[in-house]
Structure 1
Amino acid sequence: METPNSLDSPREVNDLLLVEDNPADIRFVEETIDNSSLDATVHSVSTSAAGVDFVRQRGEYQDAPEPDLVFLDWNLRQTTGREVLTAIKEEHAHIPIVILTGSKVKVEPDQLPSTKADSVKEKPTDPDGYIEIIRSIAPNQ
């Protein structure tokens, strides 16, 4: 039986988790959301372990809100996004995860674990690209 895609129904994005190890990319996404009409809070972590802990509300993230959307850098320095994707989808399949890749890096479907991301996108190079991704998930925002 196929699991329904967590993007199948419109939703609000109030809390966005960004799992990204590049400080410039983190700053870019935070500034993009802050300067947009979206009413979303960006929470960022820079390691796969912190991303999993945030979603599972463990350790220093025990009071963290459950994210409405996760932007996941597929090529984290210490690991790949595969570990984060698998760990989150095991217990939180309802949280949409958008894998973000660099322009030269492609993620082929056979590279994804059996628990797949909801979307794979090339990292936007302009603010509108991030806004479009969010609005594709939360069209009323």
Structure 2
Amino acid sequence: MNRKSSVPGQEAEVLLVEDNPGDVRLVRELFSDAAITNTLHVATDEQEALDFLNQRGEFTDAPRPDLVLLDWYLPRATGEDVLRAIRNDHELEEVLVIVLTGSDAGEDFLNSPEIQFDAYLTKPIAPDEFVSLVRSFEFFWLTVLCSPSDS
């Protein structure tokens, strides 16, 4: 893997792409309750996510995210469409992408070599498990993991 992470010790930018308001609220609360220091941005559909990632429209001043938490089942397009757009854009190809899915379709992801994501999670996850998972993200994905160019 040669995805680029944030610089250890610096706050990371996280983009959550999620259309379910309940899940968005849960993630926000868990980031807050777990005292996660990274900044969480939210896009509620694929167009908003792509506008944020490409700094278009209302997102011209948006930061480049270090990590995208991508719901696989979006209203008009699939997470796969967003993921392909990310991976086909030279300026975005280093962004870490973790796919969130409400099904046990992870095996399908693993068996599809054209789908290039960094990890996947099956939801719903119990709140206490999710807090632990978010803390693990912060520590591993956003603090420990560095690309060879970071050293």
Q: TM-score, normalised by structure 1?
A: 0.83
Deviations 1:25-55 (A, max 9, x none): 0011111111223211110011011111101
Q: Which runs of 5+ in 2 are unaligned?
A: 145-151
Written as runs of structure 1 = structure 2, the 5 A alignment for 1:29-108 is 29-91=27-89, 92-102=92-102, 104-107=103-106, 108=108
**What letter matches 1:16 in structure 2?**
V
Which position in structure 2 is the counterpart of 1:133?
137
SS in 2 for 1:72: strand
Q: Based on CA coordinates, which of the two structures has the bigger radius of gyration?
A: 2
Give the count of matched residue pairs.
135
1:93-116 Cα deviation digits (max 9, x unpaired): 1110000111x331313456x250
Between the aligned partners of 1:76 and 1:40, the Cα distance in structure 2 is 24
What's the CA shift for 1:136? 2.5
* One of 3, 25, 42 as aligned partner of 1:6: 3
3-state secondary structure, aligned to 1:138: helix
Q: Which of 12, 15, 18 does residue 13 from structure 2 map onto?
A: 15
Q: Which amino acid aligns with 2:126?
A: T
Inter-CA distance 62–81: structure 2 relative to 1 (3 Å threshold): same
1 CA distance for matches of 2:141 and 2:23? 21
Question: 2: CA distance between counterparts of 1:70 and 1:121?
Answer: 13
Q: Which has the higher contact order (CA 8 A, sep 6+)?
A: 2
Q: Aligned residues: percent identity?
A: 32
| Secondary structure class of the residue paired with 2:88 | helix
Task: Name the one with the larger helix percent.
Answer: 2
C-alpha deviation, 1:9, in angstroms: 8.8
Report the RMSD for the aligned CA atoms in angstroms: 2.3
> Does the 8 Å contact 1:89/1:115 carry over to 2?
no
User: What is the match of residue 118 of structure 1?
Assistant: 118
TM-score (norm. length: structure 2) = 0.78
More off after superposition, 80-89 vs 6-15: 6-15
Q: Which runs of 5+ in 1 are unaligned?
A: none
Give the deviation of 1:122 after TM superposition.
Answer: 1.4
Instruction: Give the drift of 1:7.
Output: 6.2
